[in-house]
Structure 1
Amino acid sequence: MAGAGLDTLLDGLTVVDLSRNLPGPFGSRMLADLGAEVVKVEPPEGDPARALPPLFTALNEGKASRRVDFRSAEDLDGLRDLLATADVMLDSFRPGVLAGMGLDAATLHARNPRLVMVSITGYGQDGPWAGKAGHDLNFMALSGVLDQTRAPTGELAQPNVQWGDLAGGASMAVVAVLAAVWAAGRSGRGRHVDVSMTHALHAHLVMPRATGTLLAPGLGRRPGPGEDLLNGGLPCYHVYATADGRHLAVGALEHKFWRVACDVFERPDWVDRHWQRGAFPGSPDCSALRAEVADLIGAHTLAHWCARFEQADACVTPVLTLDEANSHPALAGASSAIWRSVR
């Protein structure tokens, strides 16, 4: 994930990862790629992800592994010894489980005051749902995120990217780790930070909240599927079907990009029919233009539009399959790393 020059940024940081499945291991993989020494602690039967070898490798490359029987007093003593010299402990147990094993903050900080503990939970450490089980789909559903994936027809999509686990869990946990380690370096005191995946996803709804408030007066209600600023209501920011059953993503949100797109479309009469010129979702002209654009794009193949937009700086791209994305020039070579050192 980290390009050359960034894979030593966290040299000297020791992370003990007790988490399983996807959120925690993906988070500690990011830390490992940035140079942290990560010790993956697994139960005797191993992480459930081992049943899917490609997934396990993707999540755990570059980590050391250690098996611990969490029901064994001797093994737990050994784990506490390991944590006595670690910088970070990451876990994904339900609230109360750490305390039941003698791995609570009070116990661990008595031996290692600088230890940063980050727990990834479904619904937080307290509250009526704290003890409930859940998976990515549940976190997306309860947070309101899943409802925002509806097609213009109203049908719910079930994403094949685990936004709760990855955006709400792994990424927020890494932020928490780095912030708490920074604070511990200045104060000498660690802390126990909880990352609720459902709460984190709910916080990610910043755009629907804002645009919904903006458009509600004109619509007489909050915008629904295909009516909001970024979920299909704008002709300039929409996914259109092509003649061969593929799709073109038109993301010309700013007027300057829409102007370029209109040049490629050879439709100068469309230039000022843009939301920054007053054509908001829900207006008759906005709906009419969206249909006109759909007709034009639908009359040609995806290859046709890729060729036409190849040299145009218009925020228009093909919707690629996973295999196509794997080999696309934009994702190839040195730029394949998430983080790269520019200088």
Structure 2
Amino acid sequence: MPEEREPYTAGPLAGLRILELGGIGPGPFATMLLADLGADVVRVDRPGATSIFPGGDTQNLLNRGKRSVALDLKDPGDLATARRLARNAHATVEGFRPGVAERLGLGPDDLWRENPALVYGRMTGWGPDGPRATTAGHDINYIAITGALYAIGGRDGPPQVPLNLLGDFAGGGMYLVVGLLAALREADRTGRGQVVDAAIVDGVGHLLASTRARLAVGDWTDRRGTNMLDGGAAPFYGVYETADGEHMAVGAIESPFYAAFVAGLELDEPLDRQHDEASWPALRARIAARFRERTQAEWTATFDHTDACVSPVRSLRAAVDDPQIAARGGVVERDGIVQPARAPRFSGHRRPPLPRPPRSGEHTEEVLRDWRAGATVTE
């Protein structure tokens, strides 16, 4: 029997110091994830700045688990404090337009003079070079030029926007986290930091590797709503409306799963015709008509505990009560705010209660003391 070990409470990144130079969206999401994993993330907020977040500071989940210091980076004294914080950090993250950090005196070359092992994470949409580098943009713009937005939607309609998950958080924030951890690993070996260039257009392009592979071998057409995995062609991979106006998601690709799907629908359908594309339009119509005969709850009960790959489409509020989400505690409530639990999970670490997001500048004195970054500190 393996030896039983008492799990740690702190996350696996405990002891890692991350300095976040403000920012919105994907950068704060990346540092939220690092904080969830146990890193000591200090966010620099500008005194008196107005946030685009519609709620209060302590409701902004992208800042949960962080500490906030209030610094005006255009003030020489506050700038000097920020540089002292960077001197004691393992990594710094910024999401400015190209050149802004350098003009402030907080670029990588500025900070490496005192901390050569510092990993410098740059979160951008377009990247630091190229014809669009200095122009504004948002998630929808970044996924538009990669081909990803074009591929999402119905055959006869316009592209459909997948929230801002695909660009900001998948192609942006998650790739920044991977890059930071890889560069920190190398800095441990070499004592040298480097810039992690996390551009959303690069990350989304990387996410399209499987789709491009299919396109290259002729298994994907460059037209939305015509492929097996885009919900527009294969009747066994898509979304169907139920009698009560809700929806069920179907992903019965493999033959055994398709057989279970057809059996659950009680359709008299030859299983060997699953991939007969000529029969797909008529089959899709039959499946749609069948789903409209029962409510979402009834179909959920029919397909629960089967391998048919059929699931109810939950709203954000309804997802909290889904049995699978509830059993794993995937969504929790803190201070009246329903929010995602930490992910991923580690067998060697407990999951303590989630900390709340900080008020702007709440930890200024505390952080300056802990990180030995006060104006009077000498080393």
Structure 1 and Structure 2 fold alike (TM over 0.5): yes
SS in 2 for 1:120: strand
Output the amino acid matched with 1:176.
G
| Cα distance between partner residues in 1 of 2:160 and 2:9 | 37
Q: CA deviation at 1:50?
A: 4.8
The residue number in structure 1 matching 2:242 is: 242
Give the 3 Å change call, closer, same or farther, for CA 206–14 of structure 1 in structure 2: same
Which deviates more, 303-312 or 26-35?
Answer: 303-312
TM value normalised by structure 1: 0.89
Output the amino acid matched with 1:267.
L
List aligned pairs for 1:17-32, cutoff 5 A: 17-32=20-35
Q: Deviations over 1:68-119 (max 9, x none)?
A: 1121122111111110110010110111111111112222111101100000
The residue number in structure 2 matching 1:308 is: 302
| Cα distance between partner residues in 1 of 2:218 and 2:282 | 18
Q: CA deviation at 1:33?
A: 0.8
| Cα distance between partner residues in 2 of 1:156 and 1:55 | 35
Is there any run of 5+ residues in structure 1 with no aligned partner, and where?
A: none
The residue number in structure 1 matching 2:187 is: 184
Q: Deviations over 1:151-208 (max 9, x none)?
A: 2332332333432111111111111111111111111111011111122112222343
Give the 3 Å change call, closer, same or farther, for CA 259–295 of structure 1 in structure 2: same
SS in 1 for 2:175: helix
TM value normalised by structure 2: 0.81
Give the 3 Å change call, closer, same or farther, for CA 207–57 of structure 1 in structure 2: same
List aligned pairs for 1:80-95, cutoff 5 A: 80-95=83-98
| Cα distance between partner residues in 1 of 2:50 and 2:13 | 25
Query: Is the Cα–Cα contact under 8 Å of residues 212 and 228 in structure 1 kept in the other structure?
Result: no
The residue number in structure 1 matching 2:362 is: none
| Cα distance between partner residues in 1 of 2:285 and 2:154 | 16
Q: CA deviation at 1:334?
A: 4.0
Which deviates more, 298-307 or 318-327?
Answer: 298-307
List aligned pairs for 1:70-219, cutoff 5 A: 70-215=73-218
The residue number in structure 2 matching 1:261 is: 261
Higher relative contact order (CA 8 A, sep 6+): 2
Which deviates more, 159-168 or 233-242?
Answer: 159-168
Query: Is the Cα–Cα contact under 8 Å of residues 27 and 123 in structure 2 kept in the other structure?
Result: yes
Which deviates more, 53-62 or 246-255?
Answer: 53-62
Q: CA deviation at 1:142?
A: 2.3
The residue number in structure 1 matching 2:49 is: 46
**Counterpart among 334, 340, 343 of residue 345 in structure 2:** 340
Identity %: 37
Give the 3 Å change call, closer, same or farther, for CA 289–160 of structure 1 in structure 2: same
Q: CA deviation at 1:244?
A: 2.1
Q: CA deviation at 1:255?
A: 1.3
The two structures, once aligned, show a CA RMSD in angstroms of 2.1
Output the amino acid matched with 1:294.
A
Q: What is the number of equivalent residue pairs in this alignment?
A: 330
Which deviates more, 241-250 or 151-160?
Answer: 151-160
Q: Deviations over 1:264-315 (max 9, x none)?
A: 122353422223xxx3xxx312232222222222232222211111221221
Query: Is the Cα–Cα contact under 8 Å of residues 73 and 82 in structure 2 kept in the other structure?
Result: no
| Cα distance between partner residues in 2 of 1:47 and 1:30 | 24
| Cα distance between partner residues in 1 of 2:270 and 2:253 | 14
Q: Deviations over 1:219-249 (max 9, x none)?
A: xxx3523211211211111111222221111
SS in 1 for 2:273: coil
The residue number in structure 2 matching 1:272 is: 272
Pair 1:228 & 2:227 matched: yes
Output the amino acid matched with 2:264.
V
List aligned pairs for 1:48-67, cutoff 5 A: 48-53=51-56, 56-67=59-70
| Cα distance between partner residues in 1 of 2:196 and 2:116 | 14
| Cα distance between partner residues in 1 of 2:216 and 2:312 | 31
Q: Which has the higher helix share?
A: 1
Which deviates more, 18-27 or 109-118?
Answer: 18-27
Q: Deviations over 1:26-66 (max 9, x none)?
A: 11111011110000101123362454238853111211101
Is there any run of 5+ residues in structure 2 with no aligned partner, and where?
A: 1-6, 331-340, 349-379
Query: Is the Cα–Cα contact under 8 Å of residues 39 and 64 in structure 1 kept in the other structure?
Result: yes
Pair 1:284 & 2:278 matched: yes
